[in-house]
Structure 1
């Protein structure tokens, strides 16, 4: 998961209100149980070889432990995932770090993805501003449901390459063309068809199942499974003054004071849901715009085409951050200390060996090519929103202790867990 400490606005000493169950969307339990099976089932991928859980597995804090993910065509799970072999090997790394899935059903959450390309909005008449624009189907139960649709039709994440399967071919015609094919693939499995009829009141027969019900079930599962607000910090906010260790309490004081971290990691969700530029070291394929001549990632500007947004990325939420290394929108830093230091040091120390990129010889020449472009580095540095901050080594250590105190006590006792099998019969990762 990406980590962001914004140091440009005045600090606030006011602590947020504690999160409670009332701050989250409440989903139907039967729909959540159905979503659990879909989340771990590779049936939703074009080549039936990758599931949502492959890159967002609870073993790795609902992320994957890699700087840049290995999507469709890879093999294995987490940091041990490999980029595949032969004709099936990956053609590109996933351009950004796989974020954790904690608290994505919070009622106040309105902006998704590192670049905010999905937002709650009335712009297209379907409730959201997304890459699907007016072709996003209506009836989605939450922003989380809308978000769940896009990895399914992303070529290098789950869809596969043109010519390999009907999903990849359809989504290159128009983004919404593949979703009905996926829905038919799911609903014609008898166990899934029966489960949808049982879980959704308006579904009378399997033939009525659309991608909307699939997305809503996925959202019900993720939004129920990964609510987390029982960390030592949450207990402290609720009035237990003994919940934090001395080091964590010192770190809280720095976070909400001298460190100015809460100027962006604000409110109960610990995010202002805005966009800020950190000048993180660039590597990998980048998330390029249509006419970009280089493998760079310009962040929010890729969505808005506004230079004001250049190199800016969404402020992530921080609960369970200690579980989701590496850090940054591209996973540049393997440790909390490293990403903290990047924010406060004028000339942060970074080397290419800090990037956790499974070896793929056919991609190696481009993995760090952008590091040799001094003009791009200069452009990026001009947009940096953070300034050096004189924190001592002890203060940095206390900040790390505070961030570790954001880990929930029940993160390993979630409502559903990992299923033993899925209706498609495909193997689990």
Structure 2
């Protein structure tokens, strides 16, 4: 909603609810979202997000690793950054990063970023890939120079930020525009949401059964994947497997040593989870069925024997029957919602190629 002073504000039924924090019920309130950006800032950020001009080699845009066809993730177990060409599993020739690219849906509600919690603002999150040698390989000076050399971008920045002809576009303007766009990626209108707001016909009997399993004390999914964001934003050690041949990733322990966080990673959102396979921090699980099987197995079964990790107390073997597993997977598919997905620009001010997007064939998880 556009309010006074040309500012966009989120309006949602969830803002009317007042359940206690961490409650796993249907009508849980939303945390505060980053907001207050103008439509001009958001739209400018959209062009920047899809423009390879932001990378050092002018080949990689933000959208190459946070792609609309893959739920604003990238369809890979481990992302591929600097020097790469193509998207998804077909991306090749670049530097492989040792973790997956997380989805950006609902990122404006979060307070910690990256799998290991190392960033505390969306600004820091945006800067990380831009200036990483293995991701986009740019520098602040080069970024400013490229933007200021482009007449179309200067015009767009002048409109968004009120810059005069003798004022240069600065790094802070660029980062703010990117952040503005990222906060516009809101997914809160799935079939589950209609069910939560009172339309009990929105879910099938199987999906409703899956929801009951999801929030049960036996499965405990909702204890960490708390609605309505389906993430509590915390760190958790679950002992997820690494892909074959990949060394064990110590996760947040490198950022917070001595706090028993060996193998800890941020709890990801389950919104649009059917779009973002493969799963976990490095794509160790290929399908939603693999994920459910992992959680249904013995606690800590995928950890290397020489790793001393404190598994989260919610991780237990719930011994779900096959029909319960299928019901749970069916429920996860009810979290699909891309109704507010932005229009991918057909061209960008730099004139560089925009990442290809399949308009009608969005990929989904291998298992429904």
**Length-normalised TM-score, structure 2:** 0.83
Determine the C-alpha separation between the residues in 1 that align with 2:47 and 2:205.
42
Q: Does 1:104 pair with 2:107?
A: yes
State which of 202, 210, 213 in structure 2 corresponds to 1:243. Answer: 202
The 3 A distance-change label for structure 1 pair 301 and 347 is: closer
Determine the C-alpha separation between the residues in 1 that align with 2:298 and 2:104.
31
Determine the C-alpha separation between the residues in 2 that align with 1:13 and 1:199.
40
In structure 2, what is the equivalent of residue 94 of structure 1? Answer: 97
- Partner of 1:276, secondary structure, is strand
Determine the C-alpha separation between the residues in 2 that align with 1:381 and 1:65.
31
In structure 1, what is the equivalent of residue 310 of structure 2? Answer: 383
Per-residue deviation, 1:12: 6.5
In structure 2, what is the equivalent of residue 194 of structure 1? Answer: 155
Q: Does 1:153 pair with 2:131?
A: yes
Determine the C-alpha separation between the residues in 2 that align with 1:155 and 1:206.
32
Per-residue deviation, 1:347: 7.5
In structure 1, what is the equivalent of residue 285 of structure 2? Answer: 333
In structure 1, what is the equivalent of residue 25 of structure 2? Answer: 14
In structure 2, what is the equivalent of residue 216 of structure 1? Answer: 176
Q: Conserved in 1, the CA contact under 8 Å of 2:115 and 2:251?
A: yes
What root-mean-square deviation, in Å, do the aligned CA atoms of Structure 1 and Structure 2 show? 2.4
In structure 1, what is the equivalent of residue 271 of structure 2? Answer: 319
In structure 1, what is the equivalent of residue 325 of structure 2? Answer: 396
Instruction: Please list, as runs of the form range in 1=range in 2, the aligned pairs for 1:350-365 lying within 5 A after superposition.
Output: none
The 3 A distance-change label for structure 1 pair 49 and 236 is: same
Per-residue deviation, 1:383: 3.0
Q: Which runs of 4+ in 1 moved over 6 A?
A: 347-350
In structure 2, what is the equivalent of residue 42 of structure 1? Answer: 52
**Length-normalised TM-score, structure 1:** 0.72
Q: Which runs of 5+ in 1 are unaligned?
A: 1-10, 85-89, 120-142, 160-166, 168-177, 287-294, 351-375
Q: Which runs of 5+ in 2 are unaligned?
A: 1-21, 356-368
Q: Conserved in 2, the CA contact under 8 Å of 1:346 and 1:387?
A: yes
Instruction: Please list, as runs of the form range in 1=range in 2, the aligned pairs for 1:104-183 lying within 5 A after superposition.
Output: 104-106=107-109, 109-119=110-120, 143-159=121-137, 167=138, 178-183=139-144
- Partner of 2:311, secondary structure, is coil
Determine the C-alpha separation between the residues in 2 that align with 1:254 and 1:380.
31
Tell me which protein shows more helix as a share of its residues: 1
In structure 1, what is the equivalent of residue 82 of structure 2? Answer: 72
State which of 420, 425, 428 in structure 1 corresponds to 2:346. Answer: 420
Per-residue deviation, 1:250: 0.4
